Amino acid sequence: MKRVALTVMLGLLASAHAQKVQVPVPIGVALAQTSNTALLGQEQVIGAKLAEKHINAHGGINGTPIKLVFQDAAGDENSAINAFQNLITKANVVAIVGPTLSQQAFAADPIAERAKVPVVGPSNTAKGIPQIGDYIARVSAPVAVVAPNAIKQALKIDPKIKKVAVLYAQNDAFSTSETGTFQDAAKAQGLNVATVQKFQTTDTDFTTQVTAVLNSGADLVIISGLAADGGNLVKQLRQLGYKGLIVGGNGLNTSNIFPVCQQYCDGVIIAQAYSPAQPSAANQLFVKEYRAQYKKDPPQFAAQAYAGVQVVADALRALDHQKKLSQWNLDDLRTALNKQILAGKYNTPLGEVRFDKEGEVLQKDFYVAQIKMQDAKNGSFVYLK
């Protein structure tokens, strides 16, 4: 009797370690589906789902379909940690695409690192993300590479700009990282940083900061925050009389800010790591499929989430060629998948993408867009030359 019980127990222990890879192949997606951060996350969910549909319509992983397992990571650290834990231990995913914010990545990515589960960050742009661990890569180019392009464009539009007011959300890791880049880039362009103002991503009243901006005599305002706070800040800057150009960072990079700043969104300049005009076949297919469903061009966050899922699927396909996925045990596959992700080259909507040995994305083309509002509701991102 005792021996039977022991054998059963040992068997259970062994099976936990020799877990097979499920079919369809589960890929975790931990994005902001609720909270204010969903203004950014919604577009990512759309991109990830389009990738799943496209991949499975084209034979999946050499005939085996993938299945995205969504866990809402909302906008805070604990929700992201819970989402990661569920995906890793309950859903037995082979990899995770997420979370939405760098602030969340610094909290949740170490969980995946310890469990040896590869993470592909779809929108984490703060400095230091790939360095969280060996299993952490990102398809979202860092602020240092993307953000300075917006300042160059602002100077092209108005070469007389001299004084800059910089504002940032001090409770958000991405915003503090991006403002550092913006301030360095402004100085490198010979601009005078007249004032630096802080706020919280939860703030709704920016009277103090806007007053300081107006008093500084700045002729360029640069904002690093998220969508709701950033949108409100743009609106209040205009309502209180600021007339100069505004550069918004990546946290404002969504048409979901239109209902927040309405007609006052007009003219905001935002650097882009994606363009619908990127000429690769992979992108033109993505644009076609996105337009068919949403009747407009895909935004950056959708393209990056699509690329994140695609990277995982392409890497799985390469491994499946070596040994059918159903023959792997899960732990071994996760480790091999991480290596393969870093080794591969991917034709994505972002263009050709590779990774350096730390998991930093290597991507060629960057862009700048400017918001054009037709009225208080309808607008678009117009790409600048």
Binding site for ligand 1QQ (CB under 6 A): 40, 100-102, 123-126, 174, 250-251
Give, for 325, the enclosing helix (H) or strand (E): none
Nearest distance from residue 146's CB to ligand 1QQ, in Å?
A: 9
For helices 77-85 and 102-115, angle between their N-to-C axes, nearest 10 degrees: 30
Distance from chain centroid for Cα 146: 13
By C-beta, is 230 or 351 nearer to ligand 1QQ?
230
Closer CB to ligand 1QQ, 125 or 149, in the complex: 125
Give me the least distance between CB of 224 and ligand 1QQ, in Å please. 9
Residue closer to ligand 1QQ (CB basis): 301 or 328 = 301
Q: How far apart are CA 297 and CA 46, in angstroms?
A: 13
Closest approach, Cβ 104 to ligand 1QQ, in A, equals: 8
Give the angle subtended at the CA of 102 by the CAs of 97 and 106, to the nearest 5°: 90
42 or 64: CB nearest ligand 1QQ: 42
Q: Find the shortest distance in angstroms from Cβ 22 to ligand 1QQ.
A: 29
Q: Is the CB of 64 or the CB of 224 nearer to ligand 1QQ?
A: 224
Residue type, position 105, single letter = A
**DSSP letter, residue 273:** S
Q: How many CA atoms lie within 13 A of 234 on its CB side?
A: 33
**Residue among 101, 50, 49, 53 nearest 78 (CA):** 101
Residue with tokens 């362009």: 189
- Distance between CA atoms of residues 140 and 157, nearest Å: 27
Q: CA torsion 232→236→242→246, rounded to 10°?
A: 0
Query: Residue 39 Cβ, how far from ligand 1QQ at the closest point, in Å?
Result: 9
Nearest distance in Å: CB 305, ligand 1QQ: 10
User: Least distance in Å: CB of 123 to ligand 1QQ?
Assistant: 4
123 vs 340, which CB is nearer to ligand 1QQ?
A: 123
- Written as six digits, the tokens of 239 are 């309502």
CB of residue 88 vs ligand 1QQ: minimum separation in angstroms?
21
Least distance to ligand 1QQ from the beta carbon of 10, Å?
Answer: 45
CB burial of residue 4 (10 Å; 0-12, 13-18, 19+): exposed
Closest CA to 83 of 124, 49, 33, 37: 33
- Residue 131 or 239 with smaller CB distance to ligand 1QQ: 131
Nearest to ligand 1QQ of 224, 340 (CB atom): 224
What share of residues in the chain are helix, strand, coil (percent, to 5)? 50, 20, 30
Looking at beta carbons, which residue is closest to ligand 1QQ?
Answer: 174
The nearer residue to ligand 1QQ, 173 or 194, going by C-beta atoms, is 173
Identity (one letter) of the amino acid at 148? P
Considering only CA atoms, which of 360, 168, 155, 140 is closest in space to residue 249?
A: 168
